[in-house]
Amino acid sequence: MKRTLHLIVSGTLIGGLATPLSGLADEPIRIGATMSETGAYSTQGVAARNGYRLCEKHTNEAGGLLGREVEFVLRDDESDADTAVRLYEELITKDKVDAVMGPYGSTLTEAVAPVTEKHSMVQISPLAATTSIWEQGREYLFMVLPPAELFLAGLIEMGHENELERVAILQEDELFPSAAGEGAVELARERGMDVVLHETYATGTEDFSDILERIEDKEVEILGMAASPLDDFIRATEQLKAQDINLKMFGTSGAVHEYQEALGADAEYTYGLSAWEPSLPYPGIDEFVSAYEAEFDRAPSFHAAGGYGGCQLFMKAAEQAGSLDSHALRSELLEMETTTVFSDYAVDERGYQTANQGVFVQWQDGDKVVVWPEDVATHDARFPTPRWEDRE
């Protein structure tokens, strides 16, 4: 039977973790991780890093963990898999960190998982979602996000509800986008929709005009795009406008404020997956948002909340285990059913997420609002998308 836990939220969001701060031992608990502070994933990675840092701060303000302060030892993996592998090996063997947390994204998580498994170290992966990562017999890897195959599900379901039939899926040739795109194609076909184009493009592509021309020729009604770099979504939107292609629905596998900041009115009516929004009914969410805005002078994205929530899970598991021993942490995480600032959490025997399903948002009047699923929606979707000149 799984153990149900609730993360009690105090004035500092993470309460009751240990003894008062004045009683902490001299040596901090050092938690190693890389984050993509530069490179293609930096928009997401910097936000996730900030989530780790805020959790570190709140944990220490609330008394630390197991009678000790917590210190995150973070390195920039430059959005590069080889760099991430090298840095995790160094964190574990040279820096002798007490524990690790995951990097940003499926590509880097897949790359570093053999390292953390080799050293029998629990890795809570806050921002990796590709199912195949959890189908390789790994023992110490834990998923927090909804599965990648669901990242475009809201777009397909809403299109089906609106009796749209002609679907195109565009995916980057990387681990997570490929899984997200394949999942969308499968779901659309299950719903009896016509997938008229399913295209994989090379990482680093800047010109989508040829693909978009074919989308127009095939009279596509719904375009779903799965990618990791934010710039891909921005370029595709700009080129949709430049070619005056008007779709009934256009949605992406990730929704962040930087998309709207880059595009302004051209972002209007676009849909996107968000694994988290501040309107969701999770404990401590208002306090987290306020604290994040005060600390970093911007609103948190789901990547920031994912970093914070993943850190909350580690702290709770260690508290319940009374130890940093990997076997004890693993047992706690396998049995735990709880809700963090980020999401519901429960996993199967693989460490594969079973509780978090994510939400779909739409940009409306410059704001990102939840439109699906119905039970947590704050706004009705604006459908269909108007012509470009009508969005100003």
Q: Are residues 368 and 237 in the same domain?
A: yes
pLDDT for position 392 = 64
Portion of the chain with pLDDT greater than 90, in percent: 88
Domain membership of residue 376 (yes or no) is yes
- Comparing 3 with 189, which gets the higher pLDDT? 189
Answer yes or no: is 373 within a domain.
yes
Predicted confidence (pLDDT) at residue 5 exceeds the cutoff of 80 = no
Give the distance, in angstroms, between the CA of residue 334 and the centroid of all CA atoms in the same chain: 20
Q: pLDDT at position 25, please? A: 58
Residue 132 lies in a domain: yes
pLDDT digits (tens, 9 = 90+) for 75-115: 999 999 999 999 999 999 999 999 999 999 999 999 999 99
**326 and 194 in one domain?**
no
Q: What is the DSSP letter of 391?
A: -
Distance CA 106, CA 228 (A): 9
Are 89 and 12 in a shared domain? yes
Per-residue pLDDT band for 14 (boundaries 50, 70, 90) equals low
Give a yes or no: residue 350 inside a domain: no
For residue range 248-280, list pLDDT tens digits in order.
999 999 888 899 999 999 999 999 999 899 999
pLDDT at 315 exceeding the cut of 80: yes
Rounded to an integer, what distance in angstroms lies between the CA atom of residue 264 and that of residue 242? Answer: 15
Same domain, 226 and 308: no
As a whole number of angstroms, the distance between CA 75 and CA 101 comes to 12
Question: At 347, phi and psi to the nearest 5?
Answer: -130, 160
Encode pLDDT of 327-354 as tens digits: 999 999 999 999 999 999 999 999 999 9
How many residues appear in the chain? Answer: 392
Identity (one letter) of the amino acid at 79?
Answer: S
Average pLDDT over residues 174-195: 96
In a domain, 354, yes or no: no
pLDDT level of residue 284 (50, 70, 90 thresholds) = very high
What's the whole-number mean pLDDT along residues 215-244? 96
Question: For residues 332 and 321, is the Cβ–Cβ distance under 8 A?
Answer: yes
What pLDDT band is residue 13 in, cutting at 50, 70 and 90?
A: low
CATH number at residue 338: 3.40.50.2300
> Is residue 173 located within the same domain as residue 307?
no
The per-residue pLDDT of the chain, averaged, comes to 93
The model carries a pTM of 0.82
Q: Is the pLDDT of residue 179 over 80?
A: yes
- pLDDT average, residue stretch 177-203: 97
Q: Are residues 20 and 116 in the same domain?
A: yes
Report yes or no: 48 and 127 within 8 Å, Cβ to Cβ: yes
Distance CA 113, CA 97 (A): 16
- Residue 352, domain member (yes or no): no
For residue 330, is it within any domain?
A: yes
- Please state the domain count of the chain: 2
Q: How far apart are CA 392 and CA 389, in angstroms?
A: 6
Residue 390 pLDDT > 90: no
d(CA 288, CA 157): 31
Selection from 110, 111, 155, 157 nearest residue 131 by Cα: 110
Q: Give the C-alpha separation, 93 to 142, whole Å.
A: 22
Q: Same structural domain for residues 127 and 168?
A: no
> Which whole number is the average pLDDT over 308-336?
98
Chain centre to alpha carbon of residue 63: 28
Read off the pLDDT of each residue in 11-23 and give the average, rounded to a whole number: 47
Query: Quick one: 178 and 299 in the same domain?
Result: no
pLDDT band at residue 3 using 50, 70 and 90 as cut-offs: very low
Q: 179 and 242: one domain? A: yes
First to last CA, the chain: 54
- For residue 26, the model assigns a pLDDT of 77
Query: Residues 6 or more apart from 26 whose CB is under 8 A from it?
Result: none
- Asked whether residue 353 is assigned to any structural domain, the reply reads no
Q: Are residues 28 and 128 located together in one domain of the fold? A: yes
The alpha carbon torsion through 363, 366, 367, 369 (nearest 10 deg) reads -20
Contacts 24+ apart (CB under 8 A), 286-291: 287/9, 287/11, 287/13, 288/13, 288/54, 288/341, 291/13, 291/54, 291/58
- Looking at residue 20, its pLDDT comes to 42
- 176 plus 249 within the same structural domain: yes
234 vs 12, higher pLDDT: 234
Domain containing 157 equals 149-275+359-390
Same domain (yes/no): 142, 260: no
